[in-house]
Amino acid sequence: MAIGVKVVDRPIDETSYIRATVKGLALTFKHLMNPHKVTTQYPEEKDALSKRWRGTHRMLTTEDGKAKCVACGLCPTVCPANCIKLVPGEDEKGNRYPLLFEIDEFRCIFCGYCQEVCPEEAIHVGRHYENAEFSREGFVYDLERLMAQTHPVSELWDPADPRGE
């Protein structure tokens, strides 16, 4: 008795095996006859995502199809995973725009800080999760790809849920 043994006090005269087995069989048979199939049949059925879901990014665009990003550099600064690469540029009118904007979705931890910090509401985390790729390089999203994403963006907090405040 080297280890602590917990002795469960069972009244030996009232325990049974056969009758308990029959009870168990009745239960499983009940489920067999009337299974409450709760499995979501994934590719055909999909569960609704939360409004606060943070998935792969999306860059919003202005009406003339350019990225809203002004290359202020806040998102690479705030990014805890250091996954955003940004090289700012400036056109002849003095408008700043990103020369290079890449997000490594493999390094990203989907915290949503980039969306929260963005003054132009340009970069967003998206409500999206089907993003498998065949190579690691495929996970580095450049600006064109970020702008081409069409999935809904995250709201980061749900106005209907007071706990999100």
Site of interaction with other proteins (CB under 8 A): 1-19, 21, 24-25, 27-29, 31-32, 35-39, 41
The minimum distance between CB 42 and other proteins, in angstroms, equals 11
Report d(CA 125, CA 59) in Å as an integer.
9
Between 31 and 163, name the residue whose CB sits nearer to other proteins. 31
Between 34 and 135, name the residue whose CB sits nearer to other proteins. 34
Tell me which H or E stretch contains 104.
strand 96-104
Q: Residue 89 pairs with which residues in a beta bridge?
A: 97
CA 34 to chain centre: 34
Report d(CA 58, CA 81) in Å as an integer.
18
The minimum distance between CB 40 and other proteins, in angstroms, equals 10
Between 8 and 132, name the residue whose CB sits nearer to other proteins. 8
Report d(CA 20, CA 32) in Å as an integer.
18
CB within 8 Å of 97: residues ≥ 6 apart:
66, 67, 69, 70, 71, 88, 89, 90, 91
The minimum distance between CB 21 and other proteins, in angstroms, equals 6
Between 27 and 100, name the residue whose CB sits nearer to other proteins. 27
The minimum distance between CB 13 and other proteins, in angstroms, equals 5
